[in-house]
């Protein structure tokens, strides 16, 4: 794709700009929640908020991974297809007891890691654009999945899988707990560890990173593997939520995860972004979706609003750079 124009510097109050960039999304979220609360008194009830967050948990997991990939100037369009494929894989064991759940998790993570490795390898070593590499992976996974299921939905699942969606540990929903663990551990990796620093170096300037003794290819591949593994785990949790494996579980998550990351200020040009801001993007996205329903608009309106937001958010952060 064309190199992006560097935004011309405009005279502005630096302080206001910084405040807006740092807290703009938070302010936006607060406004949205105020509107939602005004529109419907049930919105701010803890039960509804937990419910909204629960729905958002699988998307959050995907966004964490997507952030890693976008940080190294990549993009993963195969996440949604992978989620559905992992869901199909989970049924492949024909397991009816809960003993199989650890096995399902191990198999799903290994499969996802392989997919991520192939994505990363093709992007890093063969120099294929991430858009095309992951697009091809998306179609290939789709084909594999359908070839296996013949297009029919399956529901042979261990009963314990539903626990992933509705279960609670110490009163906290399991999926939110898992999301928190993933976010914090990968957040530490990204923002506090050596690997994280290398991710930012490779994302902002691969050549300089290379000259500083970082192997860009290795970092890129690791990012794609992390992304796929996050998506795979997200797929299992989404499966627990949906219950039945349709072949299109997770459809739309590739777009949503990119929208959320971009809203959270993760720059598509690489090298700039924060996992927790990206997760804030998820929160905004779900609240908007919820709001559309609360206000009684047709559900298709979500698509229109999402489209406007992704363009608007990208434009907003563009003007904040430099």
Partner 1 sequence: MNAIAMDIRRNRLLLSYLIVAMLLLVMLVVGGVLSDRFLTWRNISNLLQQLIVLGMVSLGQTFVVLMGGIDLAIGSLVGALTVFLANFLEWRPDLVWLALPLALLAATCVGAINGLLTILLRVHPLIVTLGMSSIIFGGTLMYRKEPGGSVPRGFADVAYTSVGGVPISAIVLVVIFALAGLWLQRTRSGRSIYFVGGDREAARLNGLPVNRIVVLAYALSGLCAGVAAIFLTARTGVGDPRIGVALTLQSVTPVVVGGTILAGGRGGVLGTFLGVLLVTMLNNLLNFLSVSSYYQWIIQGLIIVVAVGFHTSRRRH
| Cβ-based nearer residue to partner 1, 121 or 276 | 121
Query: What are the φ/ψ torsions at residue 242 (nearest 5 degrees)?
Result: -75, -40
Asked if 139 interacts with partner 1 (CB under 8 A), we say yes
297: left (phi over 0), alpha (psi -120 to 50) or beta: beta
Where in 141-200 is the site for partner 1 (CB under 8 A)?
Answer: 142-144, 146-147, 151
| Cβ-based nearer residue to partner 1, 198 or 256 | 256
Where in 46-85 is the site for partner 1 (CB under 8 A)?
Answer: 75
Where in 222-241 is the site for partner 1 (CB under 8 A)?
Answer: none
Binding mask 249-278 for partner 1 (x = CB under 8 A): ------x--x---x-----xx---------
Binding partner 1 (rule: CB under 8 A), the pick from 55, 128, 180, 195 is 128
Asked if 301 interacts with partner 1 (CB under 8 A), we say yes
DSSP states of 224-257: HHHHHHHHHHHHHHHHHHH-SB-TTTTTTHHHHH
The answer to whether the CB of 158 falls within 8 A of the CB of 100 is yes
Binding partner 1 (rule: CB under 8 A), the pick from 1, 16, 47, 152 is 1
| Cβ-based nearer residue to partner 1, 164 or 286 | 286
HSE-up (13 A, CA, CB side) for residue 50: 13
Q: How far is the CB of 322 from partner 1 (least distance, A)?
A: 11
Q: Angle at CA 239, nearest 5°, toward 112 and 265?
A: 65
Closest CA to 131 of 77, 188, 54: 77
| Cβ-based nearer residue to partner 1, 186 or 259 | 259
Binding partner 1 (rule: CB under 8 A), the pick from 98, 129, 155, 193 is 129
Q: Within 10 A of 5 (CB to CB), how many other CB atoms are there?
A: 7
Query: What are the φ/ψ torsions at residue 172 (nearest 5 degrees)?
Result: -100, 130
Query: What are the φ/ψ torsions at residue 168 (nearest 5 degrees)?
Result: -135, 140
Asked if 318 interacts with partner 1 (CB under 8 A), we say yes
| Cβ-based nearer residue to partner 1, 195 or 314 | 314
128: left (phi over 0), alpha (psi -120 to 50) or beta: beta
The distance in angstroms from the start CA to the end CA of the chain is 22
3-class secondary-structure state, position 306: helix
Q: How far is the CB of 98 from partner 1 (least distance, A)?
A: 31
The answer to whether the CB of 171 falls within 8 A of the CB of 110 is no
| Cβ-based nearer residue to partner 1, 293 or 303 | 303
Asked if 94 interacts with partner 1 (CB under 8 A), we say no
Q: Which range, of 11-19, 22-30, 140-148, 198-206, touches partner 1 by CB under 8 A?
A: 140-148
Asked if 131 interacts with partner 1 (CB under 8 A), we say yes
Asked if 122 interacts with partner 1 (CB under 8 A), we say yes
Q: Which tokens in the block code for residue 183? A: 């976010």
Residues forming the site for partner 1 (CB under 8 A): 1-5, 7, 75, 122, 126-129, 131-133, 135-140, 142-144, 146-147, 151, 255, 258, 262, 268-269, 298, 300-311, 314-315, 318
């Amino acid at each position: 794709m064309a190199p992006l124009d560097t935004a011309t510097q405009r005279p502005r109050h630096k302080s206001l700009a910084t405040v807006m960039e740092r807290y703009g999304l938070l302010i936006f979220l607060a406004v949205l929640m105020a509107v939602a609360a005004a529109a419907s008194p049930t919105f701010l009830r803890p039960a509804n908020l937990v419910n909204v967050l629960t729905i958002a948990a699988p998307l959050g997991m995907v966004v964490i991974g997507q952030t890693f990939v976008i940080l190294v100037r990549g993009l993963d369009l195969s996440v949604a297809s992978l989620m559905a494929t992992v869901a199909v894989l989970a049924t492949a064991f024909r397991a009816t007891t809960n003993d199989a759940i650890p096995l399902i998790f191990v198999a799903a993570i290994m499969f996802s890691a392989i997919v991520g490795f192939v994505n990363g390898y093709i992007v890093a070593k063969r120099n294929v654009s991430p858009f095309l590499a992951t697009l091809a992976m998306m179609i290939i996974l789709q084909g594999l999945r359908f070839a296996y299921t013949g297009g029919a939905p399956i529901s042979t699942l261990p009963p314990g899988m539903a626990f992933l969606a509705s279960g609670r540990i110490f009163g906290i929903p399991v999926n939110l707990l898992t999301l928190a663990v993933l976010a914090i551990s990968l957040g530490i990796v990204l923002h506090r560890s050596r690997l994280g620093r290398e991710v930012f170096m490779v994302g902002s300037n691969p050549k300089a990173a290379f000259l500083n003794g970082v192997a860009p290819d290795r970092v890129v591949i690791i990012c794609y593997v992390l992304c796929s593994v996050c998506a795979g785990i997200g797929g299992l949790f989404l499966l627990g939520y949906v219950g039945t494996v349709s072949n299109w579980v997770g459809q739309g998550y590739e777009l949503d995860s990119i929208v959320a990351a971009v809203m959270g200020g993760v720059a598509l040009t690489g090298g700039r972004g924060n996992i927790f801001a990206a997760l804030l993007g998820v929160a905004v996205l779900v609240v908007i979706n919820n709001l559309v329903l609360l206000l009684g608009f047709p559900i298709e309106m979500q698509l229109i609003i999402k489209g406007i937001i992704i363009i608007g958010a990208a434009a907003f952060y563009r003007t904040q750079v430099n």
